């Protein structure tokens, strides 16, 4: 459920008494309602679902998660993973 | 797209997979609750990479799928009225009611419009004061706040020609129901990240404790799913059952307080039938008494439309992990995405539809010869 | 909540253990659903979507009604022997909202679509007919603008509009302007390009980035509007096909992946030739803005329409030459090998995902709709 994607705020304005933003999704620009995240600022990221910003995206946390994934990869390289090696060998085939 | 692509990077999957393989010692059955997660798993074929010990059971988390037949029939009745502009998210148009779908209503002259946001429906109401504009308000806790806001704004802006057909559903009672089933095989849950973005995580510790199951809040990209699985398997192997947040970039413990307050104001909790499953107590939302005059069910007097669901559909078993979709005798024959019998075949997020669309290859349709795929 | 019967509601029969044959036939007495929706008593939008429903309409109503072996081949265009020449003949109707979109208009589409249908049998289009169906009340300036776009596109494609027709329908009975064009062209001697010729071993090439037209149209469609700096790829592909034929006269299959996108084109070929197709998802050129628009709307780029791309099935030995010829042409600069034709899983298209798994790429059903979940 709930296809929601991270976008970056580029403009904020009141419209019809409603707090609205223009948000950028990697080159795709859409109007988004900020009523649920009224303190979101230009430049910040938020998770957007059906035209509503529902939660601020914590960039620091995103980086930490990616670092963890990379670290697990390094561990795996160091200690090896025969199953993975077999898959890579298979993929390298025709 | 920043913060999306990074979590789709196949180069980073190997460490997660290696850790899962190094941790797992015996079979575990995990359920991803959310249809969006099922979609990711099947679309990227994540489940094919997991060790045999880890089985994924696809949960009931597709609001389109679980919208009861009866509500669809009510929607069709409203949409067919000449004074009505019926607005809906795109996924609902193809969901069949008893004898037709919204596409067909449009073919017969109904004014049915696809919108991206409930605010689009408000705009249509503003631009068409002489018409009745009805929005089909379906979805889980993620979609409920936007829909609640539309109802609230319509009230505030005096848009008397706007009403909503509400069939919202809530995740925690569904988890409760699944765990209470006598045949339940689920040992750990990947909770739906975006539901928790709104609701936070405070509904889950009691569930995890009562049923002794780990519940891991999980995101929607392939690496997020692997991380959710990894953390759930770790807990299971250690005999733990806590609530863990594997999606901290988008989920805070308190959720979104402004959205939760609006939900409290606009909706009230009610029992709700789930297509193919049956009534789950306290699992839905309807408009609260303050907003009852914006309830399309009342405005168009369709509450009397009741429909029994087909007996042949075994989606209840599929949702409990008792049956793989292709083991159902109707799968791929009587029941296809074109002719769905129940919840799980209705939208591409449903477990049966996902099997049909993406995994038909090598998936025998003769149930007795089938072996579990995974 | 202690009710353990919750999950055995009306739809659930007594529960057998997994992997065990169900004990009895399901009870059908209370079965209210479904009437199979394939038996639509009326036309719905999906019948024009280029997917499974369109195919059924043709197979169940048009083909039996018209008969004839040429139609039965169901190519994008018909190839006919006439007075010693081999003619390709095709027609297409154009209904697009809005009439003008980033990168083109209905006038460009009406020329390029028909020219491309002919090019997909190796023919260079020569003459076009053009029918205008105008809605009462549409501004004359709009008609003029469409007509001029159409004329300019024809000159670019090197075809001449030689006959036409105009009808007007009452206000409210059309979206401003509908167009129909038909075209004829000559198929060079020795050229035999049709879906049935795909064979295992063929290399599958796409001529450039996919999804541009569909996303450009969606970005200006009412209710979806979003900003994106891309344009429709709408273009006439006759020259590109000539360049391919110059290095590889034995091209097996060409198809322009319009409605239903790459997924529909590959499925049609797989079914027509009774072969399997394997596509490497990572090799398919998807521009970031198309990928991101699809992520926002919940669509799959493989199903999004193109109007200036082709997919080619090429004998393995000629693949390098064809790829080089494509890349040397402005309309094929982004060409890429995306997969191969195989003997396994005939009639089916399989994608190898970036994570190393596989999934079936099915024929789209009907209209592509944004989803929320």
pLDDT in tens, A29-74: 999 999 999 999 999 999 999 999 999 999 999 999 999 999 999 8
d(CA B250, CA B204): 17
Domain boundary among B309, B325, B346: B309
Q: Do A87 and C356 touch (CB under 8 A)?
A: yes
Q: Do C21 and B361 touch (CB under 8 A)?
A: no
Q: State whether residue A10 sits within 8 Å of chain B by CB.
A: no
d(CA B64, CA B89): 9
Domain boundary among B272, B288, B309: B309
Per-residue confidence at C373, pLDDT binned at 50, 70, 90?
A: low
Is position B11 within any domain?
Answer: yes
d(CA A83, CA C153): 56
pLDDT of residue C14: 35
How many domains, in total, are found in chain B? 2
Q: State whether residue C60 sits within 8 Å of chain B by CB.
A: no
Is position B259 within any domain?
Answer: yes
d(CA C27, CA C226): 49
Q: What are the Cα distances from residue B48, in Å, to B328, B373, C353?
A: 21, 9, 11
> What percent helix, strand, coil does chain A show, rounded to 5?
35, 40, 30
**Once rounded to an integer, what is the mean pLDDT over residues C160-173?**
93
**Once rounded to an integer, what is the mean pLDDT over residues B161-177?**
95
Q: Which residue among C228, C295, C372 places its CB closest to the CB of A2?
A: C372
Per-residue confidence at A81, pLDDT binned at 50, 70, 90?
A: low
Chains contacting chain C through 3 or more C-beta pairs under 8 A? A, B
Q: Do A27 and C288 touch (CB under 8 A)?
A: yes
pLDDT of residue B310: 74
Is position B367 within any domain?
Answer: no
- Kindly report, residue by residue over B92-125, the tens digit of the pLDDT: 887 888 888 898 899 889 999 999 999 999 999 9
pLDDT at C113 over 60: yes
Q: Scan for tokens 């597709």, then name that residue.
A: B62
Tokens of C312: 């080619």
Residue numbers in B near C372 (CB within 8 A): 63-64, 89-91, 139, 143
CATH annotation of A4-57: 2.30.30.140
| CATH code, B220 | 3.40.50.11740
Same domain (yes/no): B333, B282? no
**Once rounded to an integer, what is the mean pLDDT over residues B48-57?**
94
3-state SS, one letter per residue, for chain B? CCCCHHHHCHHHHHHHHHHHHHHCCCCEEEEEEEHHHHHHHHHCCHHHHCCCCEEEEEEEECHHHHCCHHHHHHHHHHHCCCCEEEEECHHHHHCCCCCCCHHHHHHCCCEEEECCCHHHHHHHHHHCCCCEEEEEEEECCCCHHHHHHHHHHHHHCCCCCEEEEEEEECHHHHHHHHHHCCCCCCCEEEEEHHHHHHHCCCCHHHHHHHHCCCEEEECCCHHHHHHHHHHHHHHHHHCCCCEEECCCCCCCCCCCHHHHHHHHHHEEEEEEEECCCEEEEEEEEEECHHHHHHEHHHHCCCCCCCCCCCCCCCHHHHHCCCCCHHHCCCECCCECCCCCCCHHHHCCCCHHHHHHHHCCCCCCCCHHHCCCCC
pLDDT of residue C245: 97
Same domain (yes/no): B63, B207? yes
In 3D space, the residue among B222, B214, B171 whose CA is nearest the CA of residue B190 turns out to be B214
Same domain (yes/no): B198, B250? yes
- Kindly report, residue by residue over C206-260, the tens digit of the pLDDT: 999 999 999 999 998 877 789 988 899 999 999 999 999 999 999 999 999 998 9
Tokens of C61: 């109503």
Host H or E run for residue A30:
strand A28-33
Is position B364 within any domain?
Answer: no
3-state secondary structure of C187: coil
pLDDT of residue B143: 96
Instruction: Spell out which chain C residues touch chain A, with contact meaning CB-CB distance below 8 angstroms.
Output: 226-229, 288-289, 291-293, 295-296, 298, 356, 371-373
Q: Do A30 and C226 touch (CB under 8 A)?
A: yes
Same domain (yes/no): B122, B158? yes
Same domain (yes/no): B248, B319? no
Q: Do B106 and C345 touch (CB under 8 A)?
A: no
**Once rounded to an integer, what is the mean pLDDT over residues B146-167?**
97
Is position B21 within any domain?
Answer: yes
DSSP class of residue C188 equals: P
Q: How far is C120 from chain B (nearest CA, A)?
A: 28
- Kindly report, residue by residue over B211-253, the tens digit of the pLDDT: 999 999 999 999 999 999 999 999 999 999 999 999 999 999 9
Same domain (yes/no): B248, B278? yes
Q: Which of residues 144-183 of C touch B (CB under 8 A)?
A: none
Mean of pLDDT over chain C: 85
Q: Which residue among B96, B319, B323 places its CB closest to the CB of C34?
A: B96
Same domain (yes/no): B52, B142? yes
| Among chain A residues, CA nearest to B60 | A1
Q: Which of residues 200-229 of C touch B (CB under 8 A)?
A: 223-224
pLDDT at C333 over 50: yes
Q: Which domains does chain C have, with CATH numbers?
A: 76-186 (3.30.1330.10), 195-360 (3.90.650.10)
Q: Which residue among C226, C298, C356 places its CB closest to the CB of A29?
A: C226
pLDDT at C41 over 60: yes
Is position B262 within any domain?
Answer: yes
Q: Which of residues 300-339 of C touch B (CB under 8 A)?
A: 300
Is position B372 within any domain?
Answer: no
Same domain (yes/no): B234, B292? yes
Per-residue confidence at B158, pLDDT binned at 50, 70, 90?
A: very high
d(CA B101, CA C5): 30
Q: How far is A89 from chain C (nearest CA, A)?
A: 12
| Among chain B residues, CA nearest to C15 | B317
Same domain (yes/no): B113, B10? yes
Chains contacting chain A through 3 or more C-beta pairs under 8 A? B, C
Same domain (yes/no): B293, B199? yes
**Once rounded to an integer, what is the mean pLDDT over residues B88-94?**
86
pLDDT of residue C18: 36
Mutate to test the interface with C, among B43, B63, B90, B211 (most CBs of C within 10 A): B90
Full-prediction pTM beyond 0.90? no
**Once rounded to an integer, what is the mean pLDDT over residues C23-40?**
34
Residue numbers in A near B149 (CB within 8 A): 33, 35-36, 52
Edge-to-edge strand order for the sheet containing C85-94? C78-82, C85-94, C177-186, C124-135, C160-169
Domain ranges of chain A: 4-57, 60-92
3-state secondary structure of C205: strand
Question: What domain range includes position B347?
Answer: 315-358
Q: How far is C187 from chain A (nearest CA, A)?
A: 36
Same domain (yes/no): B305, B342? no
Same domain (yes/no): B206, B324? no
Q: How far is C274 from chain A (nearest CA, A)?
A: 22
Q: What are the Cα distances from residue C83, in Å, to C86, C87, C367?
A: 8, 10, 41
């Amino acid at each position: 459920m709930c296809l929601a994607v991270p976008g970056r705020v580029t403009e904020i304005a009141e419209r019809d008494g409603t707090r609205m933003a223009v948000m950028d999704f990697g080159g795709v620009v859409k109007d988004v309602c900020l009523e649920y995240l009224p303190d979101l600022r230009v430049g910040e990221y938020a998770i957007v679902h059906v035209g509503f910003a529902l939660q601020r995206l914590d960039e620091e946390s995103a980086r930490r998660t990616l670092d963890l994934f990379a670290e697990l990869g390094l561990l795996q390289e160091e200690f090896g993973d025969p199953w993975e090696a077999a898959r890579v060998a298979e993929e390298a085939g025709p | 797209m920043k913060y999306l692509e990074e979590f789709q990077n196949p180069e980073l999957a190997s460490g997660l997979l290696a850790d899962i393989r190094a941790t797992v010692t015996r079979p575990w059955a995990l359920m991803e609750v959310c249809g969006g997660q099922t979609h990711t798993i099947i679309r990227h074929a994540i489940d094919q990479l997991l060790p045999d010990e880890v089985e994924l059971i696809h949960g009931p988390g597709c609001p389109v799928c679980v919208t009861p037949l009866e509500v669809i029939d009510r929607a069709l009745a409203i949409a067919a009225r000449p004074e009505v502009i019926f607005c809906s998210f795109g996924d609902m148009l193809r969901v069949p009611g008893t004898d037709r779908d919204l596409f067909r209503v449009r073919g017969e002259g109904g004014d049915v419009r696809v919108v991206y946001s409930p605010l689009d429906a408000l705009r249509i109401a503003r631009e068409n004061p002489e018409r009745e504009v009805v929005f089909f308000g379906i979805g889980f806790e993620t979609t409920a706040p936007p829909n609640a806001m539309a109802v609230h704004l319509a009230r505030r802006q005096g848009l008397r020609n706007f009403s909503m057909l509400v069939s919202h559903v809530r995740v925690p009672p569904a988890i409760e129901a699944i765990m209470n089933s006598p045949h339940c095989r689920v040992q750990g849950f990947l909770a739906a990240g975006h539901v928790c973005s709104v609701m936070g995580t405070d509904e889950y510790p009691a569930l995890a404790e009562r049923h002794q199951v780990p519940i891991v809040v999980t995101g929607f990209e392939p690496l997020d799913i692997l991380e959710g699985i990894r953390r759930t398997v770790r807990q299971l192997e250690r005999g733990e059952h806590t609530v863990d947040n594997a999606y901290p970039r988008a989920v805070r413990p308190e959720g979104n307080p402004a959205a939760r307050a609006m939900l409290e104001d606009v909706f009230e909790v009610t029992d709700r039938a789930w297509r193919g499953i049956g009534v789950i107590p306290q699992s839905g939302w309807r408009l609260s008494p303050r907003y009852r005059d914006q309830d399309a069910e009342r405005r168009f007097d369709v509450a009397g439309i009741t429909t029994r669901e087909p007996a042949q559909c075994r989606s209840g078993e599929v949702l409990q992990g008792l049956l793989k979709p292709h083991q159902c005798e109707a799968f791929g024959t009587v029941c296809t995405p074109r002719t769905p019998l129940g919840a799980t075949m209705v939208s591409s997020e449903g477990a049966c539809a996902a099997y049909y669309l993406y995994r038909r290859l090598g998936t025998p349709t003769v149930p007795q010869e089938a072996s579990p795929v995974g | 909540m202690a009710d353990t019967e919750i999950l055995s509601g009306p739809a659930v029969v007594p529960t057998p253990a997994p992997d065990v044959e169900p004990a009895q036939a399901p009870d059908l007495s209370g079965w209210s659903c479904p009437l199979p929706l394939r038996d639509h008593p009326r036309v719905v939008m999906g019948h024009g979507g280029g997917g499974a429903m369109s195919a059924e309409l043709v197979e169940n109503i048009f083909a039996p009604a018209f008969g004839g072996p040429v139609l039965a081949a169901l190519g994008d265009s018909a190839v006919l022997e006439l007075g010693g020449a081999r003619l390709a003949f095709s027609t297409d109707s154009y209904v697009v909202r809005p009439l003008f979109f980033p990168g083109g208009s209905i006038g460009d589409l009406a020329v390029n679509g028909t020219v491309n249908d002919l090019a997909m049998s190796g023919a260079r289009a020569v003459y076009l007919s053009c029918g205008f169906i105008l809605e009462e009340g549409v501004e004359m300036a709009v008609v003029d603008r469409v007509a001029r776009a159409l004329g300019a596109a024809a000159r670019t494609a090197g075809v001449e509009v030689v006959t036409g027709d105009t009808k007007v329908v009452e206000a409210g009975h059309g979206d401003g302007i509908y167009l129909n064009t038909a075209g004829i062209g000559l198929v060079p001697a020795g050229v035999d390009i049709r879906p049935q010729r795909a064979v295992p071993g063929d290399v599958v090439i796409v001529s450039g980035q996919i999804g541009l037209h569909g996303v450009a149209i969606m970005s200006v469609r009412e209710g979806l509007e979003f900003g994106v700096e891309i344009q429709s790829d709408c273009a006439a592909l006759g020259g590109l096909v000539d360049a391919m034929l110059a290095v590889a006269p034995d091209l097996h299959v060409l198809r322009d992946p319009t409605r239903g996108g790459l997924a529909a084109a590959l499925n049609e070929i797989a079914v027509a030739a009774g072969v399997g197709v394997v596509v490497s998802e990572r090799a398919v050129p998807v521009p970031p803005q198309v990928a991101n628009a699809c992520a926002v709307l919940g669509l799959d780029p493989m199903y999004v329409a193109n109007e200036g791309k082709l997919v080619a099935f090429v004998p393995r030995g000629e693949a390098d030459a064809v790829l080089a010829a494509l890349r040397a042409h402005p309309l094929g600069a982004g060409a890429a090998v995306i997969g191969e034709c195989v003997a396994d899983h005939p009639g089916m298209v399989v994608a190898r995902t970036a994570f190393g798994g596989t999934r079936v790429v099915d024929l789209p059903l009907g209209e592509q709709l944004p989803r929320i979940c």
